[in-house]
């Protein structure tokens, strides 16, 4: 039988709803836990960010102080940075070759014009080249480097006009040894070397040309001359044509030069008292973001012009050290990282804290970011595991509880069903003999003169019906007493074989009319037992009665008394329907009837075998069944035997 529908609803209300509520509460708890952990992480990141900013500010303060000190020079400058000192008359860069060009050319002295008046009037007006050459030679011997340089330049020019190229080359070589003089804004030595190259090119002396042009390129790269942007471009252009290869500054070098130019322009265009004594500026030059940190005073500005690598390896490293274990990076105003990498994550992620440029006075935002979700704190993970285990246990408990409830309810329902079946069966059992009694009563009442033969027959039939009713009532009362545990047993020593014979005899009288042959066989020997004769008779009667009821077509029953070891065994055997193995255990339970018995409408109440087992157990014995469907059944009672001398 299945539990009714509303039982499931009840189950839902009692078990499933509280379980669901608990589960929901658990989930909320976990969520709260996670929020708390996130908050804690944010706090950690806030502190890390502050530590990082403080460390960086200290570092920058020290560096600014050093920049202000004219005796200080940086020990090592990374490849994408430069240390510059700006003065009104010159710009000094460390390391020397780092800047391809400067805000202004080097301020060198130019040769005066008037010593060369005579020479030039001979050269141009009188067209007397020999005379002018002679004057130039005299002037070139001057101890004054300026006059010497001016004379050498003109001498080479005149020689070229005269077509004496070899000599002109010689003179240019001499001029290339003159330093700290500039001619027309170009250092004299560079001018001389360029002129030599031009001459070599004219004469198609390729290998010499390439060698000398390469030497100029190398010196330019090494920062030998401080050229302004236009001069640099011009010379570089020439050298490139002579060499056939490019002499370009890298993006980084261009950016550094542009940054220095920016600072120089700012400095020279601001009145000295208004120019900030220290400052830091971050902006991209070309495609390269550059940071400029400067200190000014005493007619000079010293600056560290730093590229992205410097930012990363010096300042970010400093911040990272202080902010550890949080990860740090610098971001531009738009949030784009300018040094270090932003960890992947959504915008507005709580696991990210920043101090903006406005907060700190630094030119970029300092950001600290937390570990990803996969690295979340071990404590939280442990707590979650415990909670999940708790839920698992709860679920198992609820399931087990539900199953037990379901099973016991099912059982109760089955018992209720059995009981109602029992009541129906008992009523039915009563009805048959009562109907018979009423019939004979009616017959006796209606017929005034009943012949003695007929009267006897009626009488015998009535006696049988009464007997049956009596047995039924007795057996029900007995069953009731047994169930209540109040059935008294009066044990006495008796012969089990004799008792069995008597029961068979009596039973024969009951069933011979229906064509049954009941055999009773007793093995030779004594079968003394201590037993309640009435109870034991009832047990045997019940077994014989069942044998007859479930005999089907068969009409033979056997009762055998024998020994099994020291015990007395009484077996009742039929050749009827038999009992399926699945039912053999259950049929001893109260009210349980076999499926075949019910479906074939065989009368019965389901208490017969229960009483048999009860009685046998009260005697310290046992009852067992062997049966095969279609072959018949054998019920064997074994009772502890006693010897006569006992």
Binding site for ligand ADP (CB under 6 A): 546-547, 549-550, 574, 576-577, 579, 587, 593-594, 597, 604-610, 633
Give the residue with the Cβ less far from ligand ADP, 285 or 550: 550
Taking the complex as a whole, how short is the minimal distance between the CB of residue 646 and ligand ADP, in angstroms? Answer: 34
Distance of alpha carbon 181 from alpha carbon 122, whole angstroms: 25
Q: How far apart are CA 99 and CA 261, in angstroms?
A: 11
> Comparing C-alpha atoms, which of 202, 113, 117 is closest to residue 160?
202
Residue 476 CB, shortest distance to ligand ADP, in Å, is 12
Interatomic CA distance for residues 331 and 11, integer angstroms? 60
Nearer to ligand ADP, 187 or 604 (CB): 604
Residue whose CB is less far from ligand ADP, 217 or 535: 535
* Chain centroid offset of residue 105 CA: 64
Q: Which is nearest to 216 in space by CA: 171, 176, 258?
A: 176
Instruction: Work out how close the CB of 430 gets to ligand ADP at its nearest, in angstroms, rounded to a whole number.
Output: 14
CB atoms within 10 A of CB 372: 12
The three-state secondary structure class of 554 is: coil
What are φ and ψ of residue 596, in 5° steps? -65, -40
Closest distance of CB 486 from ligand ADP, Å: 21
In the block, residue with structure tokens 């690598």: 309
Q: How far is the CB of 535 from ligand ADP (least distance, A)?
A: 16
**Least distance in Å: CB of 481 to ligand ADP?**
17
Judged by beta carbon, residue 398 or residue 426, the one nearer ligand ADP is: 426
Task: Report the SS3 class of residue 328.
Answer: strand
Alpha carbon 271 to its chain centroid, in Å, reads 63
Q: Which is nearer to ligand ADP, 136 or 537 (CB)?
A: 537
- Minimum Å gap between C-beta 604 and ligand ADP is 2
Q: Which residue lies nearer to ligand ADP by CB, 83 or 550?
A: 550
User: Shortest gap between Cβ of 605 and ligand ADP (angstroms)?
Assistant: 5
Strands 556-564 and 567-574: antiparallel
Nearest distance in Å: CB 545, ligand ADP? 8
Cβ proximity to ligand ADP, 111 vs 578, nearer residue: 578
Q: Which residues of 590-622 are buried (b: 16+ CB within 10 A; e: fewer)?
A: bbbbbebbeeeeeebbbbbbbbbbbbbebbebe
Q: Name the 3-class secondary structure at 367.
A: strand
Our CB check for ligand ADP shows the closer of 182 and 633 to be: 633
Quote the least distance from Cβ 425 to ligand ADP, whole Å. 7
Q: Helices (H) and strands (E) in the chain — how many of each?
A: 19, 18
- How far lies 492's CA from each of 73, 82, 440, 467, 489, in Å? 128, 125, 41, 26, 10
- Helix, strand or coil for residue 162? coil
Please identify, using beta-carbon distances, which residue of 129 and 602 lies nearer to ligand ADP. 602
Radius of gyration of the chain (CA): 63
Q: Is 408 exposed, middle or buried (0-12, 13-18, 19+ CB in 10 A)?
A: exposed
Q: Residue 46 is encoded by which pair of tokens?
A: 């806030």
Q: How far is CA 290 from CA 287, 306, 313, in A?
A: 9, 6, 14
Among residues 146 and 597, whose Cβ is nearest to ligand ADP? 597
> CB of 620: closest distance to ligand ADP in angstroms?
22
Query: What is the sign, positive or negative, of the torsion defined by CA atoms of 199, 205, 206, 211?
Result: negative
């Amino acid at each position: 039988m299945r539990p009714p529908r509303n039982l499931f609803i009840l189950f839902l209300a009692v078990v499933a709803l509280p379980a669901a509520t608990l589960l929901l509460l658990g989930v909320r708890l976990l969520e709260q836990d996670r929020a708390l952990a996130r908050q804690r992480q944010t706090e950690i990141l806030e502190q890390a960010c502050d530590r990082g900013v403080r460390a960086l500010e200290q570092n920058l303060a020290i560096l600014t102080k050093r920049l202000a000190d004219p005796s200080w020079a940086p020990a090592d400058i990374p490849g994408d940075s430069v240390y510059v000192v700006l003065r009104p008359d010159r710009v000094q860069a460390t390391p020397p070759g780092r800047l391809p060009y400067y805000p202004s050319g080097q301020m060198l002295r130019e040769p005066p014009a008037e010593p060369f008046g005579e020479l030039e009037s001979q050269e141009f007006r009188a067209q007397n080249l020999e005379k002018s050459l002679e004057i130039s030679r005299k002037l070139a011997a001057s101890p004054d480097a300026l006059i010497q340089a001016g004379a050498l330049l003109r001498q080479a020019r005149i020689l070229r006009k005269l077509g004496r190229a070899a000599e002109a080359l010689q003179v240019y070589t001499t001029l290339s040894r003159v330093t700290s003089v500039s001619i027309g804004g170009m250092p004299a030595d560079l001018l001389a070397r360029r002129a030599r190259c031009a001459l070599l090119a004219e004469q198609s002396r390729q290998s010499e040309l390439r060698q000398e042009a390469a030497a100029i390129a190398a010196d330019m790269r090494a920062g030998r001359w401080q050229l302004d942007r236009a001069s640099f471009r011009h010379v570089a252009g020439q050298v490139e044509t002579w060499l056939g290869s490019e002499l370009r500054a890298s993006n980084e070098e261009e950016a550094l030069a542009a940054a220095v130019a920016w600072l120089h322009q700012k400095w020279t265009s601001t009145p000295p008292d208004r120019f900030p004594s220290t400052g830091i500026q971050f902006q991209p030059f070309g495609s390269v973001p550059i940071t400029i940190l400067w200190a000014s005073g005493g007619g000079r500005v010293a600056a560290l012009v730093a590229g992205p690598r410097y930012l990363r390896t010096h300042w970010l490293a400093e911040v990272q050290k202080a902010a550890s274990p949080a990860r740090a990076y610098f971001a531009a105003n738009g949030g784009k990282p300018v040094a270090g990498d932003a960890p992947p994550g959504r915008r507005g992620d709580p696991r990210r804290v920043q101090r903006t440029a406005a907060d700190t006075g630094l030119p970029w935002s300092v950001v600290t970011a937390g570990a990803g979700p996969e690295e979340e704190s071990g404590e939280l993970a442990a707590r979650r595991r415990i909670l999940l285990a708790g839920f698992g246990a709860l679920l198992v408990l609820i399931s087990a509880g539900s199953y037990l409830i379901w099973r016991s309810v099912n059982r109760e329902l089955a018992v209720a069903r059995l009981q109602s079946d029992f009541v129906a069966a008992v009523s039915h059992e009563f009805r048959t003999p009562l109907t018979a009694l009423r019939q004979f009563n009616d017959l006796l009442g209606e017929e005034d003169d009943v012949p003695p033969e007929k009267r006897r027959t009626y009488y015998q039939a009535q006696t049988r019906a009464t007997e049956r009713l009596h047995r039924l009532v007795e057996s029900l009362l007995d069953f009731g007493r047994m169930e209540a545990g109040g059935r008294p047993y009066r044990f006495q020593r008796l012969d089990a074989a004799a008792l069995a014979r008597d029961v068979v005899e009596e039973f024969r009288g009951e069933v011979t009319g229906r064509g049954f042959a009941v055999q009773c066989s007793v093995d030779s020997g004594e079968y003394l037992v201590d037993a309640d004769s009435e109870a034991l008779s009832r047990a045997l009667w019940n077994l014989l009665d069942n044998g007859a009821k479930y005999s089907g077509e068969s009409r033979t029953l056997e009762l055998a008394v024998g020994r099994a070891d020291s015990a007395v065994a009484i077996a009742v055997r039929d050749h009827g329907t038999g009992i399926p193995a699945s039912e053999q255990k259950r049929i001893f339970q109260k009210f349980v009837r076999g499926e075949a018995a019910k479906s074939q409408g065989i009368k019965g109440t389901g208490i017969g075998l229960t009483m048999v087992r009860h009685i046998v157990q009260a005697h310290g014995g046992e009852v067992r069944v062997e049966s095969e469907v279609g072959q018949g059944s054998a019920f064997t009672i074994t009772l502890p035997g006693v010897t006569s001398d006992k």
